[in-house]
Amino acid sequence: MAKQTSTYVCQQCGYVSPQFLGKCPECGTWSSLVEQITQTGSSFSNKLGKSISEPIKLSDIEKKAYDRVKSGIEEFDAVLGGGIVKGSVVLVAGDPGIGKSTLLSQLAINMSTDYSLQTTAKNKEAVVSSRKSVSSSVLYVAGEESPHQIKLRIERINPKSNFEILNETDVDAIIGTISSLKPSLVIVDSVQTLETGDLDSAPGSISQVRETAHRLQRLAKTLHIPIFLVGHVTKEGTVAGPRTLEHLVDVVLWLEGDPTNQFRILRSTKNRFGPTDEIGIFEMEESGMIEVKNPSRIFVEQKVNAPGSAVTVTVNGLRPLLIEIQALVTKTNSPIPRRVGTGVDSNRLMLLVAVLTKRLKLPLYDQDVFVNITGGLKITEPAADLAICMAILSSFKDLTLPPKSVFIGEVGLLGELRTVRNLEKRSSEAKKLGFNKVISSENAKTLDKALSLAIS
């Protein structure tokens, strides 16, 4: 009979040790040995006697449409690609205090009511009609908080809600409860608190996180139950635990935002069932996360017509979004001027400052340049290059740009403007909100031309 034992494997070179070592004797890497469960006791003949799995031809595999369950939160469903896929494992990560538990509490509240159990499959009449099954449709596994703490948060959001709470950290006991109740949704808060008695390491260690997440993943696929895992973030800004945790799950969601700002951005960095460039925007209120239906209007309605302000249009998935970019250029006494970007890549900012200095002859060598994306947003696409340059130009020359102008375009190293995707959709969104002057690569080929069009 096979017996479970533990070995320690180096994550760098694969060296195997029967006990933990601080330094790998093979490659010399410190703290690289991770505990793993292995099976022993099986003879060679038993291995040869195992049944052989038959491969399946690709032509024999039937096409299957994944049923999606509506969560009742439109922004949340959009990021997931249309709803929650049954049997999927979703990892929700974010900084401490950003609102992960609040968002998932609202998900549990919505999923424990009748109206949210309708699916987007062809059979739209498939609704859970038994009130008994509805009352036990959601299981909230609390590993960090007590049931009383969770109840305080739930009553603040919706006092009339009711669902099951399991205060447990033993993954085997959790799996037994899920197998018995068979809920329609499971939320685990958080995966770093789970442990299994088969490993000697402490909860939150790499081996515990990997093993417990793997067992929950197999359970989700077997019982066809969606499971949401809350993941901690390290000081480096990555998900705590092994990198395989992100590979193990189907969807990875990041909840971002400045804790001092009321807006929160939910974005997908991995999605096996939908796009990875969609975002959901929420506003943190006393009663929980409130969906922002028209974020463009909110982000630009507080815009001040002053030097250093420019507006651009970004596209996240299928949604165009107007945002304001602010820049401040000021004289420096330091021998090395600062280039600081908030919400924009610092390397990209330094590149754009270099282009302005070289192509437009701007004396920025003795100027500090600060750029900020309002609303706590982060910009990664190059379509905002022109707006960043125009904001820097406006602040340096102390010149106010026209209030109803938007700037869209990628800036090349030669000072030319390159076209971007979905330019027509961006322009249409800007005109809907009253911006009648769109400066892009269609009417300006260089930075010089864009500046002359802006001030004309």
Strand locations in 232-318 (E) = 251-256, 263-271, 279-285, 288-291, 309-316
How far are the Cα atoms of 353, 362, 385, 440, 453 from residue 358, in angstroms, in the given order? Answer: 9, 7, 16, 21, 20
Tell how many helices (H) and how many strands (E) occur in the chain.
13, 22
Q: Radius of gyration over alpha carbons of the chain, in Å?
A: 26
Token digits of residue 357: 């200095």
CB atoms within 10 A of CB 387: 30
Q: Is 213 left (phi over 0), alpha (psi -120 to 50) or beta?
A: alpha
Q: Which residues are annotated as a binding site for ATP?
A: 94-101
> Measured between alpha carbons, how far is 358 from 351 in angstroms, rounded to an integer?
11
Cis check for the bond before 190: say yes or no (omega within 30 of 0): yes
Task: Tell me the three-class secondary structure of 51-73, residue by residue.
Answer: CCCCCCCHHHCCCCCCCEECCCC
> Measured between alpha carbons, how far is 270 from 187 in angstroms, rounded to an integer?
19
The residue written with tokens 């006697």 in the block is 49
Strand-pair category, 84-85 with 68-69 = antiparallel
In three-state secondary structure terms, 305 is coil
426: exposed, middle or buried (Cβ count in 10 Å: 0-12, 13-18, 19+): buried
Q: Which residues are annotated as a binding site?
A: 94-101
Residue type, 278: E
DSSP string, 1-49: --EEEEEEEETTT--EESS--SB-TTT--BT-EEEEEEEE---HHHHHT
